[in-house]
Amino acid sequence: MKHLTILFLLLGGSAIGQNQLTLQHCVDLALANPLQTNTENAEMRTALINRKYQYWSLIPDLNANIGFNTSFGRRIDPFTNTFTTKNVNSQTFGLNSSVTVFDGFQFRYNRLVLDYSIQQKELSVERRQNDLLLRTIDLYTEQCKRSVQISQAGLRIEKYRALQGIQQQLIKAGKISSIDTLKSHNSLLNEELSLAKLESEQRLKNIELNFLMGVPLLEAHTFDPSSVSALTIVPQLQEDLEVEHLQLEAKIIENQWRADRSSILPTLSLNGSFGTGFSTNRKDATPNGETIPYNDQVQQNLSENIGISLNVPMFNRGAWLKSKQLSEIKRTQLRESIRMTEYEVEIHLIEKEQTRILKKAEIRQIEQIVANLLTIYDKTLLLYSEGRISYLEVETVFMEWQTKLTDLETLKLEFEKLSLLVK
């Protein structure tokens, strides 16, 4: 008994200076914690960058080339258009550029795919935040339930101690035997053990809640059950978000198929180049047969080219037909999945509303039962103090009253939590 008293003093001392945490504040901290949505935010930023740099595909590209070559054996020198059988060293320099004028609308459809991908990533962030919101609500209501149970366990301990005081007076009056005090003392010890377990469970769950909020893990809080109904952020049904995800996926599949279909259309591109070169084979243009100087060759060999290229696909080995058929299968599957998920949304809403109505009716009934049991307990305790009934009858009524009281508080919290989900 002395050890338990010391334990409770230590546990009670840890609660000194605790801040009361409302559900709204708890949710705000959890949603503002960047660690909880780090992956989803990174994916969304990646999608934004992919879309941003797609515009750059409309800009002409520019490439520089430089070559150093040594040729030997019988060949034609491209600079003199003559045969040579000696070793020839040559250098080439140039710039070339090209731009696609028409790509069969692939840019447009790929752009739509990127836009829908961004919306999908934004939805992933929203889904993650919604999951975080639901988890936070669950943890907070669990902590509220434990707080109520801890409070009621403390009250039961006080009741048992008060009952032992009555028993001492009855023993002195010779109305009961000392065995009743042993029974009540055992009940008191059981309640103290139960209280210790509840407080331990609350501390462990508090660590998990602190992790979600991004605060020090060992930070202690007290909880306000009345704040559950005051939450301003309404969580969404996970099935609703899943429907949105599937709809975006269907749009992505459709535009990917359109982009694949565009591959069978002709493409038109512009290209241009500018270059020059030098070769050691240039000996025929000087009186003494020496190689023309480097700078002179570079100036004489300047060349420019501008062209238009039209590419007309003729046969792609059935790639487009395969893409079309696979896309149709996927879109059909997505349409059926959307319909099924919409049915699940409707079913869950009906179930939650019916459960809420049932819990509301249960609360009204249990409130009457608790009030009746309290009256019964008071009268039973009065009869026991007069020595007219046994201790077993008192404890039976007392535990029935406490059980129903715990059920009532639990039902109230579950009702408030369920009300958030059907707003």
Q: How many CB atoms neighbour CB 389 within 10 A?
A: 15
Tokens, residue 202: 């609350």
User: Token match 């590209």: residue?
Assistant: 61
* pLDDT level of residue 207 (50, 70, 90 thresholds): very high
Looking at residues 149-168, what average pLDDT do you find? 91
- Tell me: pLDDT of 49 over 90: yes
Tell me the pTM: 0.79
Terminal-residue alpha carbon distance, the chain? 49
User: What pLDDT digit, counting tens, does each position of 345-403 carry?
Assistant: 899 889 989 999 999 999 999 999 999 999 999 999 999 888 888 889 999 999 999 99
Return phi, psi of residue 377, to 5°.
Answer: -65, -45
The distance from CA 126 to its chain's CA centroid, rounded to whole angstroms, is 7
Q: What is the pLDDT of residue 12?
A: 43
Domains, in order of start, for the chain: 2-328 (1.20.1600.10)
84: which strand partners?
75
- Tell me: pLDDT of 175 over 50: yes
Q: What is the largest CA-CA distance in the chain?
A: 146
DSSP track, 379-417 = HHHHHHHTTSS-HHHHHHHHHHHHHHHHHHHHHHHHHHH
Q: How many CA atoms lie within 13 A of 175 on its CB side?
A: 15
